[in-house]
Chains A and B, each alone.
Chain A
Amino acid sequence: MIRFSATFSLLAALFLGVLLSGCREGGGHAAGVAERIKEAQAPIAVDSTITDADFPEKTVLAMEEYQGGFFRVEARRELIERYPCTGCHNEKEVTVADGAAQAHGDIVLEHGEKGRRLVCFACHKPDNRNLLEAEEGFAVDFDHSYRVCGYCHFRQKRDWIGGAHGKRMEFWAGARVVKNCTSCHDPHSPRFKKRWPKTYSLPLT
């Protein structure tokens, strides 16, 4: 009888041991990928194989810094039709009949809350149409429109600088190049429009 209980307790101890070791393994697992990431300090991803020539779009150095230092942003100024704006908006009087409607009649201004829409000069500089202006004396080039947008949308700008809003162009590796605000948003009507999806999925089963 004594021998039996000794064997039994030995078995029980073994069983308990197996159980506990199983728990430990499971516990170690829960740390997982988060722990691995936290400890990681990979050297800054310089990729010399990626050059400016790999970007089809023109880019400029941003006037901001992200956690990894300077970065570049898609240039927008040269993409504006009829730039420079002072070609029409200058000291001379505009002689074309109905010029405003012909030049900017396509613009739908849906920016700002309903009933309190923004007006042209909320962003455009009245005395120099080649520039933007969010506040008197704060002139901004079209390439750096994020400085104007960020004047109101500071949360989005903070996320954009860090990398949670907007996106990198072409490469995840190499020196950082990101899209500008106006690369994705129409500044006059910034909300994305309702449309049909590009494709559809079949039922799962």
Chain B
Amino acid sequence: MGVPKKDEYRAVDDFVGRILSRKNDRRSFLKGAVVTGSALALSGCGNGLPGMGEESVLAWQEFFKANYRLMTETEKRDTVTRLEKLARIRQGIDVRISTREPRENVLFGYGFNISRCEGYMDCVAACVKENNVDRRSKTQYIRIFEMEHGKMNVDAGDGKYFHEVPVDGHFYMGVQCFQCENPPCVKACPTKATWQEPDGIVVVDYDWCIGCRYCMAACPYWGRRFNWNDPEVPSSEITRRQHYLGNRMRSRGVMEKCTFCIQRSREGRNTACVEACPTGSRVFGNLLDPDSEIRFVLAHKKVFRMKEELGTEPKFWYFMD
């Protein structure tokens, strides 16, 4: 690469001018940022350009932030402030975004009682509400399979039933992200936008995800979801207690997944699905605490994990009474 010629400089200038004179939607903003980013970042234009609205300035600053795992405490605080301001501008609501760290000596585990679940799907509805999941595409993190007695393969189950439940001769099996201890999705990610937290939750940095969907292909459990469009959630229904790695608003073209309701579980609360379950089929707790409910299940019940032979080590056990 040689030194750029004078007219090449002019071409870039023209392009930047064109971008900036346009209304700043996400696409044109990103295009512009690619070109102008390096030049302006160097010249210390951290507050955006003259004439930019508050939203554009915030979005601009957001664009240059680091991967969550590389952020300092100050950077985390700054980005949270920006995202909260953006929520006020874009959705007109006050959200509280937490960056709460994992607790010491905690490894989350989950139990699902296949002899108790009646297929009411209260968990699915609660999960969608809690996690601000797109309503338009009807994305859901949890899928409940209606299975005939004796069948153990979800391929043979019905994942889209809609009739009175429970149906005689059937049982119900919930599937969601199993927060594998050896997660294939994390290995597949080319941008290190997804990783496993010390408390065992596999999370996504939505601002580092490039939407290649390799993780989706790598997951043997259909645990990940892709945003084909900007998520549409009515402002009145947005859950305002959010976590940076959890239920904060995503945008088009990024992956998302169940995070064991990181915004709740890190505060000691039960996940939304556990809270909503009317039959007590869902058990959630600390695997490292020998007195916890999940440890009781592991010690006293017949348990199995899905596709155990793959060596993914899900921290999600099915059990029977």
The answer to the question of A32 belonging to the interface, with a C-beta cut-off of 8 Å to chain B, is yes
CB–CB A26/B311 < 8 A: yes
B270 touching A195 by the CB < 8 A rule? no
A180 to chain B, nearest CB (A): 12
- Minimum Cβ distance to chain A for residue B308 (Å): 10
Select the stretch in B19-27, B42-50, B58-66, B285-293 that faces chain A. Answer: B285-293
A172 to chain B, nearest CB (A): 5
Q: How far is the CB of A54 from chain B (nearest CB, A)?
A: 9
A192–B111 CA distance with the chains assembled, in angstroms: 21
- Among B137-145, B209-217, B240-248, the stretch that binds chain A is B137-145
Q: How many residues of B contact A (CB 8 A)?
A: 65
The contact of A37 among B116, B128, B269, B287, by CB within 8 Å, is B287
Q: Is the interface of B mostly helix, strand, loop or mixed?
A: loop
Q: Are B280 and A179 in contact (CB under 8 A)?
A: yes
A45: Cβ under 8 A from any B Cβ? yes
Q: How far is the CB of B153 from chain A (nearest CB, A)?
A: 15
Beta-carbon contact of A194 and B159 below 8 Å: no
In the complex, whether B262 has a CB less than 8 A from a CB of chain A is no
Q: How many whole Å from A118's CB to the nearest CB in chain B?
A: 22
Q: Is A200 in contact with B286, judged by CB distance below 8 angstroms?
A: no
Do A201 and B160 have beta carbons less than 8 Å apart?
yes
Q: Chain B residues near A40 (CB, 8 Å)?
A: 105, 107, 287-290
Contact residue among B182, B291, B321 (Cβ-Cβ distance under 8 Å from A29): B182
Stretch at the interface among A4-12, A136-144, A160-168: A160-168
Contact of A164 among B138, B270, B278, B300 (CB under 8 A): B300
- A192 nearest CB neighbor, chain B only: B118
The verdict on A47 contacting chain B, using a C-beta distance below 8 Å, is: yes
Interface of chain A, helix or strand or loop or mixed? loop
Chain B residue with the shortest CB-CB distance to A197: B121
Determine the distance from Cα of A203 to Cα of B160 in the docked complex, in whole angstroms: 6
B265 interfacial by beta-carbon distance below 8 Å? yes
Which residues of chain B have a CB within 8 Å of any CB of chain A? 103, 105-107, 109, 111, 113, 116, 118-122, 124-125, 128, 138, 140, 143-144, 159-166, 181-182, 222, 265, 268-270, 274-275, 277-280, 282-298, 300-301, 311, 313, 315, 319, 321
A sample of 26 inter-chain contacts (CB < 8 A) reads A29-B313, A32-B182, A37-B298, A41-B290, A42-B105, A50-B268, A67-B296, A68-B291, A155-B321, A156-B321, A164-B296, A164-B297, A165-B280, A167-B274, A172-B270, A172-B293, A179-B280, A184-B280, A192-B118, A194-B165, A195-B164, A197-B121, A197-B144, A197-B165, A198-B124, A201-B140
